Amino acid sequence: MRSLFFKILVWFWLSNVLLVSLSVGYFMATNDARQRQNIQAMRRRGRSSLGAALDLTAQNAAFLYETEGKKSLAEFIAQTQEVTGLTLWLFRIRGAEVSELSGQSVPNTTRKAALKVLESEDIERIPEGDFLYTARPAISFNGEAYIIVSKGRDFFGGMPGQGPRPQDSLLQNIWSQLPTSFPQALIFLGGAGVVCYALAFYFASPVKNLRQATNLLAEGDLSVRVGPKMGRRRDELADLGRDFDRMAERLQILMVSQRRLLGDISHELRSPLARMNVALELAEQTANDDTQIYLQRIYRESGRLNELIGQLLALARLESGDTKDRETPVNLSELIEEVAHDADFEAKSNKCGVVITHNDDAQTIGNIELLRSAIENVVRNAIRYTGEATQVEIEQRQKNGEALIRVRDHGPGVPEEALSELFRPFYRVAPARDRQSGGVGLGLAIAERAIKAHGGSISASNASGGGLLVEFRLPLNQ
């Protein structure tokens, strides 16, 4: 998860859910514990009251048995069962045995409860389904020992300690509440998600705007600003946006000034250079043979200077964006054939050649002179560095609505760390700036700006087997 927006959203949302869940769980757990304590107290009071009633019933039953016999005892037990809803048995202790006195049938659970009292001499309880068997020792008014057993509904929660315990874990308490609180939980999770989404958007949105503006600035759009997108924010992110705008404005002023200076100087050099060429032509008419050699040298250098000024003007025009006024349909296949033919004638002086390996029929919309200059500059650069008796290969194919143009030489290639710098103005791989190692470093820069002005891209890489491979991508006119 690399997005700052989703990181903020997820972590805030999970934090809220965890905090509220723990709070609700703690409340439910403590509330359940209090309720359990109250229930246990009610059970103890209920059992205590029932125990006192059974003690009194046992004493009355024993008294009737001792004074009036089994018949009176049976009638008394029947009346008591009718009134209380309890089934009662009265046992008399005879050594290690017990015998029921009322004449009723005695279930195994009843006898078992009586025998357990005989062993423990204390109250015993045996749950069985929804019923509870309670056996208690009792002493009659004459001091005889009896055991009374009652069977009734388990109104007090069964055996002591049975049922939910106060020490149950917090997660168990929360889990037990889920079936009844699921709709409320969904409402809470949805509400928390909306709040966290708004909070994450508030923090991540200016960062996203800054990132987009930075990418546009890196691509050369110096007019980009983020201040209007910040709204009325007054936090650190808004300050960062204003700092970015000041930086972009300063860069724009510097770059515009540099481009204007470059264009003005190049333009102003054209006039004295033209006058110097006229003077050279006049001087050649009256010069002797010895002087002609020096005049020819001056003429060649002025031609190179004129070419450099032309490149500088072209670069300034491309960087200013002044290229849309002369756009026409361009047949790329024909343009490549023309450039290859002219370049092959020039390459013969370097003992190499230029060949087209593939050339699809393709058309685009653009400035034909700029496109010609871009392709020529790359091809001439390849001619300059390819080895003797080799050929510069040009290939043009249609691919995914684009024209893919490849120009490859068979020279020494370029160090990997220099590939990204090749299209920077005045950059040269070789440290020396002599004529033997190439031009002044404007040809590839002009090519890159011309291709980008047409919505395309250009890249350079070292070809397998040696040499430099330059690729153009231009959108086609469908």
pLDDT band at 148 (very low <50, low <70, confident <90, very high): confident
Do β-strands 363-366 and 391-399 pair in parallel, antiparallel, or remain unpaired? unpaired
Residue 271 has pLDDT above 90, yes or no: no
Query: What is the model's pTM?
Result: 0.46
467 conformational bin, left if phi > 0, alpha if psi -120 to 50, beta if neither? left
Residue 46 has pLDDT above 50, yes or no: no
Distance CA 253, CA 17 (A): 51
347 conformational bin, left if phi > 0, alpha if psi -120 to 50, beta if neither? alpha
pLDDT in the model for residue 40? 54
User: If DSSP codes are grouped into helix, strand and coil, which group holds residue 399?
Assistant: strand
Residue 159 has pLDDT above 50, yes or no: no
pLDDT band at 161 (very low <50, low <70, confident <90, very high): very low
Distance CA 374, CA 366 (A): 12
Mean pLDDT over each residue of the chain, to the nearest integer: 77
pLDDT in the model for residue 163? 43
Measure CA 166 to chain center. 43
363 vs 2, more confident: 363
User: If DSSP codes are grouped into helix, strand and coil, which group holds residue 137?
Assistant: strand
> Which residues have a catalytic role annotated?
267
* pLDDT, tens digit, 9 for 90 and up, residues 388-444: 899 999 999 998 889 999 999 999 888 888 888 888 877 777 643 344 455 667 788
Strand order from edge to edge, sheet including 145-153: 97-100, 87-94, 145-153, 131-139, 124-128
pLDDT band at 469 (very low <50, low <70, confident <90, very high): very high
Residue 2 has pLDDT above 60, yes or no: no
Residue 369 token pair? 């002179």
Distance CA 420, CA 418 (A): 6
pLDDT in the model for residue 280? 80
62-66, 67-71, 172-176, 258-262: least confident range? 172-176
Out of 42-56, 104-118, 282-296, 398-412, the most confident range is 398-412
pLDDT in the model for residue 439? 60
253 conformational bin, left if phi > 0, alpha if psi -120 to 50, beta if neither? alpha
Residue 114 has pLDDT above 60, yes or no: yes
Out of 3-12, 22-31, 222-231, 302-311, the most confident range is 222-231
pLDDT in the model for residue 1? 45
